[in-house]
Chain A
Amino acid sequence: MIFRVILLALVCLPISAYSSSVKVHERTFKNGLKVLVKEDHRSPVVVSQIWYKVGSSYEPGGITGISHMLEHMMFKGTKKYPAGEFSRIVAENGGNENAFTGRDYTAYFQTMEKSRLEVSFELEADRMRNIQLDATELKKELEVVTEERRMRTDDKPRSKTQEYFMAMAFSNSPYKNPVIGWPSDIANYQVDDLQAWYELWYAPNNATLVIVGDVKADDVFVLAEKYFAGIKTSDIKPVKPQTEIEQHGVRKTTIKLAAKLPYILMGYKVPVLNTIEDESEAYALEVLAGILDGGSSARLASKLVRGQQIAVSAGAGYSMMSRLPEMFMLDATPAEGKTVFDLEYALKQQVYDIQRELVSEQELQRVKAQVLASAVYERDSNFYQAMQVGMLETVGIGWEKVDEYVEKVNQITAEQVRAVARKYLVEEKLNIAYLEPQPLNQKKLVRKVAGGRHAH
């Protein structure tokens, strides 16, 4: 049970395919708010998401994680709807709601029966400008976020390894920082910091409203206009580029933590759709990820987990839709008797194979068939459709790319896959983290405290 989710979209996302034979209706209000509507009449429900162009990659040192902290504080009330009212009203209207923060976005959503969309608009429009930040509430919520960090990262050896890995791999890109923030930064947020961050980024001209469901686009525009069009525009300054410096040579780190299983994480610095000169290269990298890890017939599963049996699990992933350059990730857990160094060698062999020889037509067709099928399956979920549109728009790629995805993937050839493997998956740009398990030390002591209740 996780509320107010953080999307730590860092490692091994499977190929994400975007589909849409369904039209996206677009309107931009005078105050800069962009509204995107997709009609899906299969069920009498609607999802409403508002996406702000701000996330951990916008944060300067000292206040890392503040976007996520602000996301929590967005539930703490406005003058009109004091703390707790927002959630109470959504719940009473049968709605589900939550929010999530990533590196490049902060988003809030409600899913409701279709007639209640107005409830969501009224509340969301109100908190775009009017939250009341209070020192006592902040103090409490700081504790909550610290507990969240303990749960997500501090007590999870692999999550912690991933955190150290990112901090090592990136020199000056803000992607080096965790979405949830570094502990000492979290401990020292002040109300003023949050107020400033809120005023800096929460404005209609820095937001996208995405609606998917059993609605008519024109009605949605009218309703949205009523609640959002009157909100004043802000002067939004472009975020500094913080372009990652070139990497010249492999970087390795060993993380020693109390754990039971070793683990290896490898990442090659690669461009993304936003930053790449030749767009087809990004799609070729997506296909490459699918060749290695697009299911049980993909190479890592069939060759490393089954064939050689040196891994109990192995994965690869590339996410082309982030705002800034990313890594092409590989990760694996060794089988009994094998080491992370065996895996490093084996994973590199898989990369070399693709650099040397063209992938087979059968493999290529398999990836394309999966992408095509996924494009249909994804439409089963309004929420997923809204996510795609909102994310692409917010990271600066533009929602229109949703429609191109299947076709662009379909055009990729075996030669292009080999070419991007040769160009980007090179040792100079490689980063590796090894998790070296340390004994958990304390013996499992089961202690019966009392026959009845906990002493207090």
Chain B
Amino acid sequence: MHIRFIALILVVFSHSVFSAAKIETWQTSQGSPVFYVETKGLPMVDIRVVFDAGSARDGYQHGIAALTSALLDTGADEWSADDIAQRLESVGARLGSGVSKDTAWVSLRSLTEEKLLNKALQTMQAILTKPSFNEADFQREKGRTLAGLKHREESPGALANIEFLKVLYKDHPYAHPSSGVVETVTGFAVADLQNFYKQFYVANNARVVIVGDIDRQHAEKIAQSLIAGLAAGEKPESIAAVPVPEKGVTKHIQFPSTQTHVLAGLVGMHRKDKDYLSLYVGNHILGGSGLVSQLFGEVREKRGLAYSAYSYFSPLLRKGPFTMGLQTRNDQTSQAVEVMQNTLKAFVEKGPTETALLAAKKNITGGFAMRFDTNSKLISYVSMIGFYQLPLDYLDTFQQRVDAVTVESIKDAFKRRVQPEFINTITVGGE
């Protein structure tokens, strides 16, 4: 039995011939790029309109991007929040909106049955192109945001996150939390949101992504009509590059919790980084592969110090953070931090073993099909490819590029990019 099992493993190393999604692209008459994948089998479609209007565009008004996004479905055209909700929900459609550091998006999931889809699309179109920004809706949503910010103060993990990014990014637009802070949000007026909308929710700053059981012609029509009402506007200038990191700092915030939340890391890499794959695969081994990563092994499996221990890169338009994290009982914080630091140090010094690299490659390439086996996952990938202007065959060539990574390239990339003395460590918890 054992022998047969080994044989089986050997057989499956070869890559599957399954090809990734076929992404088609074109522009609307106003010049907004559209990215489209046809998937068959289920009578549904996912649509996402993405703007370069994330919290990095907040300026000094931290949280304005998020609140603008939250206001969109509270009134549009002649419809109130109730009307909008009823129009969408009566056809079983689901609308979403939100912001990240780089992007703001409005998304729709709908059945493809024509009458249902048309009603949903009409509503989405109004939300995108004719949001009302009523004073009353604004005051209410502002109040809800402020309550959310207050609630955040109950969470040592959330506080650690805020402090971590502040230390890493200082005055850079990636430094502040996307939902803002009480001091800034309190001062917003409805005109601020309108201005933000006018500047950033424009055709020259929009991308449309469509994934589902819709043919190309229909997709073209949808993309065109969905954002035809947007002003042409201008593509905003790129946000500033992230300043070069300095020597790392260590900070502790006192909090009445039983655990201390630890976040450690530095400014990492951007989406088109030349070290992307070496850092990605290297991190997979260090702390990115769940139950089998080195950090998980050292912190949890060997020592029982935490429930979760992990690391990841968040590649953004500019360099996003590299983060290591864990939570542990207050009195063993320094031990846990030390284990984390030593694990990183050893990894940066020695790099992974050939065996570990091979295992990681097998995991990444062997599970490749699972990265986009649902429309939900697929639209996330296609949106990322569209927004960050990655090659359309990004998914198709991914396995090859992973295979090209070597122990040396990982070692080299980590030595240059993840120097232990540059690591910042934030702890939030009791003593």
Contacts and interface: CB of A to CB of B under 8 A. Distances in A.
Interface of A: 1-3, 41-45, 75, 80, 83-84, 87-89, 91-98, 111-113, 115-116, 118-119, 122, 139-148, 150-151, 154-157, 258-261, 294-298, 301-302, 305-306, 309, 312-313, 333, 335-336, 362, 365-366, 369-370, 372-374, 376-377, 379-382, 440-456
A374 B110 CA distance: 10
Contact of B291 (A75, A94, A372): A75
Contacts of B240: none
Nearest to B166: A446
B109 interface: yes
A447 B253 CA distance: 6
B259 A150 contact: yes
B369 interface: yes
Interface in B252-292: 252-259, 289-292
B353 interface: no
18 contacts: A91-B359, A91-B363, A94-B12, A96-B370, A112-B366, A115-B16, A116-B12, A147-B327, A155-B258, A156-B154, A260-B150, A295-B89, A297-B89, A298-B89, A312-B147, A369-B92, A380-B376, A442-B256
B111 interface: yes
Interface string B381-394: 00000000000000
B362 A376 contact: no
B251 interface: yes
Interface in B67-109: 73, 81-82, 84-86, 88-94, 109
B367 A112 contact: yes
Contacts of B224: none
Interface string B312-354: 0000000000000101110000100110010000000000000
B69 to A, nearest CB: 15
Given A260-B153, A298-B89, A312-B143, 9 more contacts: A2-B308, A98-B291, A142-B304, A296-B81, A362-B86, A373-B92, A444-B255, A448-B251, A450-B250
Q: How large is the interface on B (under 10, 10 to 19, 20 to 34, 35 or more residues)?
A: 35 or more
Contact of A454 (B85, B140, B250, B258): B250
A155 to B, nearest CB: 4
A158 to B, nearest CB: 8
A94 B368 contact: yes
Contacts of B413: none
B362 A93 contact: yes
Contacts of A83: 301
Contacts of B94: 373, 377
B340 to A, nearest CB: 10
Nearest to A149: B307
B254 A447 contact: yes
B163 A295 contact: no
Nearest to B334: A456
B144 interface: yes
A96 B366 CA distance: 10
A222 B58 CA distance: 59
B147 A301 contact: no
B374 A87 contact: no
Contacts of B374: 43, 380-382
Given A94-B362, A441-B256, A3 B291 contact: yes
B181 interface: no
B291 A97 contact: yes
Contact of A94 (B81, B304, B310, B363): B363
Contacts of A447: 251-254
B250 A45 contact: no
B305 A147 contact: yes
Contacts of B301: 83-84, 140
A343 to B, nearest CB: 13
A96 B290 contact: yes
B426 to A, nearest CB: 10
B306 interface: yes
Most chain A CB atoms below 10 A, which of B90, B327, B368: B90
Contacts of B147: 261, 312, 333, 335-336
A88 B359 contact: yes
Contacts of B43: 376
B54 interface: no
Nearest to A93: B366
A442 B42 contact: no
A445 B254 contact: yes
Contacts of B5: 119, 122
Contacts of B110: 373
Q: Closest 8 A-B residue pairs measured CB to CB? A: A94-B366, A373-B92, A94-B367, A297-B85, A140-B304, A143-B304, A296-B85, A43-B373
B81 A150 contact: no
A442 B93 CA distance: 46
Nearest to B303: A140
Nearest to A41: B41
A42 B289 contact: no
A92 B363 contact: yes
Contacts of A144: 300, 304, 306-307
Given A75-B291, A259-B154, A154 B258 contact: yes
A441 B255 CA distance: 9
B375 interface: yes
B229 interface: no
B292 A449 contact: no
A116 B259 contact: no
A370 to B, nearest CB: 5
A93 B73 contact: no
A45 B373 contact: yes
A350 B278 CA distance: 57
Nearest to B373: A43
Contacts of A94: 12, 362-368, 370
B341 A454 contact: yes
B291 A147 contact: no
A336 B146 contact: yes
B244 interface: no
A294 B85 CA distance: 11
A447 to B, nearest CB: 5
Given A380-B375, A452-B247, A113 B292 contact: no
Given A373-B92, A447-B251, A440 B153 contact: yes
Nearest to B252: A447
A440 B156 CA distance: 11
Contact of A370 (B18, B92, B247, B337): B92
Nearest to A373: B92
Contacts of B191: none
A96 B369 CA distance: 12
B32 interface: no
Nearest to A307: B82
A198 to B, nearest CB: 20
Contact of B8 (A118, A295, A297, A369): A118
B366 A296 contact: no
A89 B150 CA distance: 45
A370 B85 CA distance: 12
B18 A454 contact: no
Contacts of A335: 143-144, 147
B9 A93 contact: yes
B66 to A, nearest CB: 15
B12 A93 contact: yes
Given A261-B150, A306-B81, A382 B373 contact: yes
Contacts of A453: 248, 250, 341, 421, 425
Most chain B CB atoms below 10 A, which of A83, A115, A155, A362: A155
Nearest to B147: A312
Contacts of A148: 307
Contact of B251 (A111, A302, A380, A449): A449
A302 B12 CA distance: 54
Contacts of A145: 307
A42 B213 CA distance: 12
B89 A377 contact: no
B334 A454 contact: yes
Contact of B292 (A91, A297, A305): A91
